[in-house]
Amino acid sequence: MPAIRRARREGRGHTTAPGLSAPPPTFPAPPTSKLPTLPGLPAFLTSSNNESTGGTRGYSTETTPLFLRRPKRSSVADDLIQHGRDASQLLGDISNSLGGNGGSGGVPGPWETLQLVATSAALVFDTVGSVRANKTQCLQLLERVHQIVRTLINLLGDVNAHAEFRPHTGGGMRPIMLRAVDQFLETLVTLHRVLQEQSTHGLLTRILRHLETRDRLAECGEALQQALDVFNVQTTLISHSSLGSLRRQATVQHEEVLSALKKKGWAVDLALASKAAAGEEEQKVEGI
C-alpha cells in the first residue's frame, strides 16, 4: 500500500520538457505617480516616496516642518555668553583683590557676597547654552545680567574714592547697595535653577510647564530690571560726585594761579584783557 500511494503522488506532478525551467511568477509593478496635491497641506505630506523620486531620507530643510527643524547656533548668543563669562571672572577677581572684612555670625560679608554673585553669574552663562526652550527670553535676561555685572565692575572701580564700597565703613557698602546685591544674588540663583530645569527636563515636561516657566522667567526679568535701575542710579550719583570734586579742584587751582600772577603784578593786565574780550563779545551780539 505505501508503494502504491507514493507512485500516485509522483504521477500527479507536472513534467516539464528537458532543458527548460519554469518561468518565475510575475506581479504588477507599483504605481510611481505622485500623491495628488491638495490645498492646505504642507510640502512634506504631498511629496512622493523618497525611494521612487531619488530623494534623501531623514532630516531636510525643505520637507521637515519648521517646528521640528534644528535651530542654528547664533554667533550673537555665543558672543554674549563669552562676554558674560569674562565679566563674571573679572568681577570675582576684583572682589578677591579688594578682600576686606568678612561676615559675622556665619553671614557673608559684602565682598564675599560679590564673589558669590560672580560665581552665580558664571554658572548662569554656562547653563544657558544647553537650554532647549524659551531661548529668546533667556538671552534677553542674560543681556541684563551682563549689564548689571559691568555696572558692578564700574562701581568697584571707584572703591578708593567713594564710600559706597569701602571695607572700613560699617559693612563695606551702603544699606541700599547691600540690599540690591543680595536681591541680585537671589535672582541669579532662581534664574540658574530655571535654566537647569529647562536643560534637563524632557519634551513632554517642558510642554506641560511652558506657561509656568515663562512666568518665572518674567519674574526674574522684573527683578533684574529693578537691580539694574538701582545700580544705574548709584553710578549716576558717583559720576556727579566725581564731577563736583573735579570742579572744586579746578576752582582751587584757578585761584592759586590768579594769586601767583597777582604777586608778580600781572593781575591788571589779565583784568583788562578779560574786559576787552567781553566788549568784543557785546559788539558781536549787537551786530547780530
Residue 170 scores a pLDDT above 50: no
Q: Which three cell numbers stand for residue 146?
A: 551682563
Q: Is the pLDDT of residue 58 over 60?
A: no
Whether the predicted pLDDT of 78 surpasses 50: yes
123 within 8 A of 192, measured Cβ to Cβ:
yes
Query: What is the rounded average pLDDT of the residues 157-161?
Result: 56
Q: Which residue has the higher pLDDT, 189 or 42?
A: 189
- Residue 165's beta-bridge partner residues? 173
CATH 1.10.150 fits 73-246, yes or no: no
Return left, alpha or beta for 38; rule: phi > 0 is left, psi -120 to 50 is alpha, else beta.
beta
Q: Looking at the predicted structure, is the pLDDT value of residue 47 above 60?
A: no
Cell numbers given for 71: 535651530
pLDDT confidence band for 145 (50 / 70 / 90): very high
R_g over Cα of the chain: 40
* Pairwise CA distance, residues 223 & 120, whole Å: 15
Burial class (CB in 10 A: 0-12, 13-18, 19+), 226: middle
> Are 234 and 163 spatial neighbours (Cβ–Cβ below 8 Å)?
no
Q: For helices 135-156 and 110-127, give the axis angle rounded to 10 degrees.
A: 150
Q: How far apart are CA 258 and CA 267, in angstroms?
A: 7
Residue 169 CA to residue 86 CA, distance in Å, equals 29
Residue 35 phi, psi dihedral angles, 5° rounding: -65, 150
d(CA 9, CA 144) in angstroms, rounded, equals 91
Reported confidence tier of residue 230, pLDDT bands at 50, 70, 90: confident
Q: According to the per-residue pLDDT averaged within each range, which of 54-68, 196-210, 270-284 is highest? A: 196-210
Would you state the pLDDT for residue 258? Answer: 74
pLDDT of 285 reads 44
pLDDT of residue 251: 78
Q: Which residue has the cell 546685591?
A: 181
Cα three-residue angle 185-187-190, rounded to 5 degrees = 110
Dist CA 198 CA 205 (whole Å): 9
* Distance separating alpha carbons of residues 92 and 123, to the nearest angstrom: 13
DSSP 173: B
Residue with more model confidence, 253 or 93: 93
Whether the Cβ atoms of residue 172 and residue 165 lie closer than 8 Å to each other: yes
Report d(CA 128, CA 275) in Å as an integer.
66
Percentage with pLDDT > 70 across the chain: 53
Nearest to 174 by CA among 237, 92, 220: 237
How far lies 155's CA from each of 115, 137, 158, 207, 231, in Å? Answer: 15, 28, 6, 41, 8
Higher-confidence residue of 10 and 223: namely: 223
